[in-house]
Amino acid sequence: MVLTGIEIFKLLPKTNCKECGDPTCLAFAMKLAAGKAELNACPYVSDEAKAKLSEASAPPIMSVTIGVGERALKVGGETVMFRHEKRFENPPGFAILISDGMDDAEVDHRLGKFKQLEYERIGLILRPDLIAVKSDSGDKAKFEALVGKVKQKTDGGIILMSDNPDIMAAGLAACADRKPLLYAATEGNLDKMAELAKTNACPLAVKADGLEKLAELTAKLTEAGVKQMVIDSGSRKLRQAFEDQVIIRGAALAKKFRPLGFPTIVIPGEMTDDPMKEAVIASVFVAKYGGIIILSDFYGESLFPLLVERLNIYTDPQRPLATTEGIYEINNPDENSPVLITSNFSLTYFIVSGEIEASRVPSYLLVKDTEGLSVMTAWAAGKFVSDAIAPFIKKSGIADKVKHRKLIIPGYAAPESGGLEEELGDWEVQVGPREGSHIPAFLKTWKA
Ligand code: SF4
């Protein structure tokens, strides 16, 4: 049963101590009811009240974990329709399809792509998450052998795809310890699939023809004790599938409709045969509101943009990505190497450090904490000005690393050069390029 804000309020201590970050217990209760606060933010809730509140405080969309260990993928747990309201919590997982109808060479090729197609961007590794192993042959032994091979050759999460419970059991025999997602329970196999999911403590995907039938099935499964579910509305036309995603998210969040309060799974490859159209369809579901996206194959030219889109959409809009303040040594600098300074906005840091690295000039890069703001924004906000930079330079320890006293500041911070020389005393402040791409040419002519 979903509790209202007032009902939750009645179970709280009502001391208005503010330790939860809200001014009153009532304000906290309202947030809890809206799924915008977590119960453990209040340290004074009694165990009895906790038990009663656990359902009300659970996110309106269940968090579901697929896999184990470092590569375990958590999906769902979302609390808002739009990322600017708070943030999106758990990025969708990308899966590559492998079928027991494929020959060994094709399977090996796809497993190789799963491992190789990973990219570093602003210090983060972007890579796909899951391998969806599908039974097309209808042969239990063949499916079990393929699942065993996938388990042995990769550490990614696994999705087992069959609507035949006997074949699903064979797949589970090979990889139950990896806690795969079972795709899918349908009206025809519901009880047997529920039993497999419960016995093996694995999440279960539920597929139905339309949202009403889907809600009916998830309600039955919840009653049967299955908690970790992922849902597929069965639509294989883009427009209907997109509308289903929006309705599912809206029903779970606005109406607190628990039978649809689960992350979704979408299969763009079943909506088109064209790989580029498939990538475009997948990009729609990255934005709204796919939980798991199974791709019929991986291609670098479409997977990379999808991974970047996912990164952008699931980055907290209220917190810029930031690099740790400090001294970064690039290309093995020594006591005669140039010293540059920049802000700690991740994108700025990676552009500047990348250009320095490309120049092959051994250098020190000082990264000043500007709360994740770029040089220009930080300068305008008073966080990258002489008063703020000078104390950082003095305590950074850079004076012990170089014999010279020359500091290169970004071109955009040129107005600070005079003030900075005054603050630092014995340092000469040099104005570097405005654009990162001009750094290599600047450094190549620089002299201590
Ligand atoms: Fe009320 Fe608990 Fe928040 Fe204190 S921490 S104001 S008791 S909800």
Ligand 1 neighbour 13 (Cβ under 6 A): yes
Q: Is the domain of 174 the same as that of 249?
A: yes
- 284, 347: one domain: no
Q: What is the CATH number of the domain that holds 16?
A: 1.10.15.40
Query: What is the number of domains present in the chain?
Result: 3
Mean pLDDT (whole number) for 184-206:
98
Same domain membership, residue 346 and residue 297: no
Residue nearest to atom 1 of ligand 1 (CA): 25
What is the arithmetic mean of pLDDT over 422-428?
94
Classify residue 335: in a domain, yes or no: yes
For residue 386, give the 3-state DSSP assignment.
helix
Residue from 20, 30, 31, 53 whose mutation best tests the ligand 1 pocket (most atoms within 8 A of CB): 20
Is the minimum distance from the CB of 28 to ligand 1 under 6 angstroms? yes
Domain-located, residue 389: yes
Mean pLDDT calculated for residue range 215-235 = 97
Does residue 299 sit in the same domain as residue 376?
A: no
Grade residue 40 by pLDDT with cuts at 50, 70 and 90.
confident
- 58 pLDDT above the threshold of 80: no
Give yes or no: residues 335 and 229 share one domain: no
Rounded Cα distance between 167 and 144, Å, is 8
51/13 same-domain check? yes
pLDDT of residue 55: 66
Strand partners, 158: 131
- Does 277 lie in the same domain as 139? yes
Last residue of a domain, one of 287, 313, 339: 313
Average pLDDT estimate for 80-96: 93
Residue 426 burial class via C-beta count within 10 angstroms: exposed 0-12, middle 13-18, buried 19 and up: exposed
pLDDT at residue 358 above 60?
Answer: yes
**Is 302 inside a domain boundary?**
yes
Non-local CB neighbours of 323 within 8 Å, separated by 6+ positions:
123, 344, 345, 346, 349, 350, 367
Nearest to 370 by CA among 426, 427, 320, 308: 320
Q: Is it the case that residue 437 has pLDDT exceeding 70?
A: yes
pTM: 0.77
Q: How many A from CA of 19 to the centre of ligand 1?
A: 6
Which is it for the CA torsion 20, 26, 32, 34, positive or negative?
A: negative
- The verdict on 86 and 34 lying in the same domain is no
pLDDT at 2: 60
Q: What's 123's DSSP letter?
A: T
* CB 12 less than 6 A from any atom of ligand 1: yes
- Cβ of 120 less than 6 Å from ligand 1: no
Indicate whether residue 17 lines ligand 1 (CB < 6 A).
Answer: yes
pLDDT at 212: 97
Looking at 259, 283, 313, the residue that finishes a domain is 313
* Across 390-404, average pLDDT: 96
Ligand 1 midpoint to CA 83 (Å): 27
> 370 lies in a domain?
yes
Distance 261 CA to ligand 1 centre (A): 27
What is the Cα–Cα distance from 75 to 366, expressed in whole angstroms?
37
CB-ligand 1 contact for 412 (6 Å cutoff): no
> For the domain that residue 340 is a member of, what is the CATH number?
3.40.50.11600
- Co-location of 245 and 382 in the same domain: no
pLDDT band at 38 (very low <50, low <70, confident <90, very high): confident
CA of 67: how far to CAs of 18, 72, 129, in Å? 38, 4, 10
Same domain for 18 and 37?
Answer: yes
- Would residue 81 count as lying in a domain? yes
- 225 within domain boundaries: yes
Check if 18 has its Cβ closer than 6 Å to any atom of ligand 1. Answer: yes
Give the atom of ligand 1 at the shortest distance from the alpha carbon of 15: 7
State how far the Cα of 295 lies from the Cα of 29, in Å rounded to an integer: 41
Q: How far apart are CA 287 and CA 276, in angstroms?
A: 17
Q: Is residue 318 part of a domain?
A: no
Closest residue by CA, ligand 1 atom 8: 25
Residues 250-281 pLDDT 10s: 999 988 899 999 999 999 999 999 999 999 99
Mark which of 313, 337, 359 sits at the end of a domain: 313
Same domain, 295 and 386: no
Domain that holds residue 389: 326-444
On whether both 208 and 101 belong to a single domain, the answer is yes
CATH code of the domain in which 151 resides: 3.20.20.20
* Ligand 1 atom closest to Cα of residue 28: 8
| Structural domain contains residue 268 | yes
